Amino acid sequence: MNGHRKPTGEYRSITISRDCGQWYVSVLCKTKIKKLPKTGSKAGIDVGVKRLYTSSNSKYKKPFEASELQTKIKESQTSLNRKRLEKVKVNRVLRKEIKECETVREVLALRLRIKQSSKNYLKENIVSQNFIRS
């Protein structure tokens, strides 16, 4: 058992399962629970709308803001769609240029230029946004 606590007490059941190529072992043990000593202090938690919870020692947590994440997702999707549309427009122009080529040499030169421009496109747009780390 790598990285987990060792089971103590009487074994009740052992389940071996495989998920996504990895093996897992689940062990159920019967143990005696040790009672903790009483401290005399009390704790309370208030669940609310403005704050997710407020504890008796005045600690609180704000609720999860999904709207912030939704705006980030919308901005990134808009940016990605703009880049895709840009690439489609470039491909249309290049197809027209290929049709206008009269010799095989001109077609090969144009394909080389397309290859170089796509490498530059990747360097400018993807590496700069830290999608690929060098």
Model confidence pLDDT, tens digit, residues 23-60: 888 888 898 888 889 888 877 877 777 777 777 777 77
Would you say residue 23 lies in a domain? no
Is residue 81, in this structure, part of any structural domain at all?
Answer: yes
Residue 98's domain spans which residues? 66-129
Q: Does some domain include residue 90?
A: yes
Contact yes or no for 33/9 (Cβ under 8 A): no
Q: What is the pLDDT of residues 62-88, one digit of tens each?
A: 666 667 777 888 888 888 888 888 888
Give me the helices (H) in the chain, please.
Answer: 66-100, 104-125
Rg of the chain on CA atoms, in Å = 31
Residue at 12 is within a domain: no
d(CA 52, CA 46): 8
- pTM for this entry: 0.31
Number of domains in the chain: 1
| 8 A C-beta contact, residue 54 and residue 66 | no
